[in-house]
Amino acid sequence: MQTEIILAKYGELALKGLNRNTFEDILMKNIKRRLKPLGKFTYTRAQSTIYIEPETPDIDLDVVMDNMKKIFGIAALCKACVCEKDLADISKVGIPYLEEILLGVKTFKVEAKRADKQFPLKSPEICRELGGQILEAYPHLQVDVKHPDVTVMVEIREKHAFVHAGNEKGAGGLPVGSSGKALLLLSGGIDSPVAGYRMSRRGVHISAIHYVSPPYTSDRAQEKVEQLCQKLTAYCGSIAFFCVPFTEIQEEIKKNCPEPYFTIIMRRLMVEIAQKIAAKDDCSALITGESIGQVASQTMESMQAINAVTCTPVIRPVVTMDKLEIIDLAQKIDTFDISIQPFEDCCTIFAPDRPKTNPKIKNVEQYERRMDVVVLVERAVAGIMVTEIT
Ligand code: ATP
Ligand code: MG
């Protein structure tokens, strides 16, 4: 019986400047965690590739592939069949293995990679031999070396040879956890989940913080954000979710500050709370879904006023993207349909008709002095609920 396995390749480029072993260890750990619910596998690694072999025949490798395409740090991946390292076995096992694919196309070429230079045939000879045998087995096919419908790959590796029909693109980026941790300000909107996804792709493990204002916001609004977190875990791994009671702060702002300043002052208080959680949760940065000019409150002046409350870097991964680009990504990572559910967010409810687009820090601080910010922040922090979303 033929053995089918998955090869996950991380390539040399991604390893630049990183400790190779740490990178591989983290990636391996992430893959194992993701595949655990799908069955038992044997993992081996060699030559910038992780080999994943199912231990039982009931495992659906297509499902495994779909899961693996969401794991950051994998540049390319494919299903392959395992052959002995001789040409007779490669054609005996490999040619029937590719039957379904080869019957569905008109042209092909063979490419060989010889990681084991001891193998008696050189790459062009392997291609010629195997190409001839494929033509015999599937007479409807023609060879096209420039634009083949399918490229049959033969990889001669350390212990075995592998035959497959070319690599598929992986999620790229760096393995989550290889670049530290940051805290995502996650609203129920379209932008912040995408911001979290983009940050994770750089290897950053994320926690999420969300502000609720019951009874102005409903439980459904919070559930929606938890669902967004859940979606993100497919890419980002487990996420610590901090839920902050924000009603008192919103009401105080409303009572004490001029309406055009509501949004900016609210955002500054969010960031003050977030930086305290970041410090406790080992997060070295905050992440938001702000994008320049997207709404009146998202200007460089307001970002300046927001940054002024913290020394923790505030990273805005979607800052230069326009809405359509963000929506495209939100659809790709499957958060869009959740984000557009119409549950009120704490920002929408207290949103001023005309937010101040160029808030002066001096004025903002003056209005904030009308409230006991320290006590308000302390109380909000004390009321935070944490859940681990996996
Ligand atoms: P999003 O689509 O992410 O909600 P937005 O374009 O609606 O973004 P705003 O509502 O102005 O923008 O919010 C800007 C950013 O502030 C959000 O991207 C998010 O990072 C943060 N934020 C806003 N509301 C909340 C909330 N209730 N909880 C946590 N973070 C929030
Ligand atoms: Mg929003």
Q: How far is 119 from 83, CA to CA, in rounded Å? A: 14
Residue nearest to atom 12 of ligand 1 (CA): 290
Band (pLDDT 50/70/90 cuts) for residue 344 is confident
Neighbours of 187 (CB within 10 A): 23
Residue nearest to atom 1 of ligand 1 (CA): 189
Q: Which residues line ligand 1 (CB under 6 A)?
A: 185-187, 189-192, 210-211, 288-290, 294-295, 297-298, 345-347
- 307-338 pLDDT per residue, tens: 999 999 999 999 999 999 999 999 999 999 99
Q: How far is 116 from 388, CA to CA, in rounded Å? A: 46
Task: Check residue 350 and give its pLDDT.
Answer: 73
Strand partners, 50: 8, 45
- 231-241 pLDDT per residue, tens: 999 999 999 99
DSSP reduced 3-state for 230: helix
290 alpha carbon to ligand 1 midpoint, in Å? 7
Q: How far is 45 from 68, CA to CA, in rounded Å? A: 16
346 alpha carbon to ligand 1 midpoint, in Å? 9
350 alpha carbon to ligand 2 midpoint, in Å? 12
- Whether residue 32 contacts residue 43, with contact meaning beta carbons closer than 8 Å, is answered with yes
Residue nearest to atom 8 of ligand 1 (CA): 191
Predicted TM-score of the model (pTM): 0.90
Sign of CA dihedral 70, 242, 228, 199: negative
pLDDT at residue 93 tops 90: yes
289 alpha carbon to ligand 1 midpoint, in Å? 6
State percent of the chain over pLDDT 90.
Answer: 80
- Which of 184, 192, 306, 349 gets mutated to test ligand 1 (max ligand atoms within 8 A of its CB)? 192
pLDDT at residue 133 tops 60: yes
The one-letter code for the residue type at 214 is: P
- Whether residue 134 contacts residue 110, with contact meaning beta carbons closer than 8 Å, is answered with yes
Q: How far is 24 from 357, CA to CA, in rounded Å? A: 46
Task: Check residue 346 and give its pLDDT.
Answer: 66
> Backbone dihedral region of 63: left (phi > 0), alpha (psi from -120 to 50 degrees) or beta?
alpha
Q: Residue 195: nearest ligand to its CA?
A: 1
H or E segment and range at residue 93: helix 87-97
Task: Extract the runs of DSSP E, i.e. beta strands, from the chain.
Answer: 4-9, 41-46, 49-54, 76-83, 107-114, 142-143, 150-156, 161-164, 168-169, 181-185, 205-212, 239-245, 286-287, 314-315, 385-389
User: Which token pair is 97?
Assistant: 């293995």
Q: Which of 302, 306, 312 is nearest to 277 (CA)?
A: 312
188 alpha carbon to ligand 2 midpoint, in Å? 6
End-to-end CA distance of the chain: 37
- Whether residue 74 contacts residue 51, with contact meaning beta carbons closer than 8 Å, is answered with no
Task: Check residue 16 and give its pLDDT.
Answer: 61
Sign of CA dihedral 321, 288, 230, 74: positive
Rounded alpha-carbon distances, angstroms, from residue 192 to 77, 171, 266: 29, 19, 17
pLDDT at residue 37 tops 90: yes
pLDDT at residue 263 tops 70: yes
Indicate the DSSP class of residue 320: T
pLDDT at residue 12 tops 90: no
Task: Check residue 94 and give its pLDDT.
Answer: 93
Task: Check residue 229 and give its pLDDT.
Answer: 97
Rounded alpha-carbon distances, angstroms, from residue 293 to 267, 317, 322: 16, 15, 9
